[in-house]
Amino acid sequence: MKKIYKLHLKSKYKWNKKLITIKLFKPINFLFKPGNFTQLGVLKNKKIIWKSYSISSNLNNKNLEFCIYIVGKFTNILNILKIGNIIYMKKKTYGFVSLDNLKKFGNLWMICTGSALGIFISIINQNNVWKYFINIIILHFVKYKKEFSYFKIIFNLYKKNSFLLKKNFYFFQNIIRKKKINNLKNNYFKKKFDLKIKKNISKFIICGKPNILKKIKNILINKNLKLCKFNYKGDIIIENFW
């Protein structure tokens, strides 16, 4: 248990039947970067089962926040936990998504699918990100209309943070299924947004389902944007922790 925290559920907010935000008491020595994942654990048949989630909270927050979409056995257990109940968390964090790996200027595009939006909630929750970029755009692909409820989390964050009101911030959600993925064209972004994708100006963070990410990555590489690597700050970060 040396590599595991034993935490208590501080609060749980239900946005709707399928989407909740949980808060855990943050361990004093726990460190993370915006965009990081960690693993949460719950007891099932006297054994701990694990699932990875992105941390959605601000670095300076005394609590750790996680956005949870209720689907499957793990989240069903998580959903019925009461305040004060134990949730386990691994001390190690994961993930390549970090502003440290990206050139910090121009327009920042953040594109994701489903619950991967939690990564971006953490990033825009940091005041310093708004100093680096002229425009910040989040494009959220979902499979079903009911997943639009994530908008409530973004809107709530928007209301709480006055610095957001002073910036050019765009949040779009789009239903996309298998048939539409193959029809994603180079001019998709031009049709959807006034902002053009330009080399040295446009920066991208993309995460979520591999089939969608691959399509978007190819579009961006064809526009001469460069992938970030561990020893190279480029224009595109792809989160492969899936």
pLDDT in tens, 67-122: 888 888 999 999 999 999 999 999 999 887 878 778 778 889 998 887 778 888 88
Tell me how crowded residue 131 is: count the other CB atoms within 10 A of its CB: 10
- Predicted local confidence at residue 222, as pLDDT: 85
Q: What pLDDT score does 17 carry?
A: 82
Q: What is the pLDDT of residue 193?
A: 53
- Residue segments in the chain with a per-residue pLDDT below the cut of 50: 181-188, 190
Question: Which residues are CB-contacts of 197 (< 8 A; sequence separation ≥ 6)?
Answer: 109, 189, 190, 220, 223, 225
What residue ranges define each of the domains in the chain, with the CATH number in brackets?
Answer: 4-90 (2.40.30.10), 99-239 (3.40.50.80)
Please report the pLDDT score of residue 186 as a whole number.
46
Integer CA distances (angstroms), 7 to 25, 66, 91, 227, in order: 7, 13, 11, 37
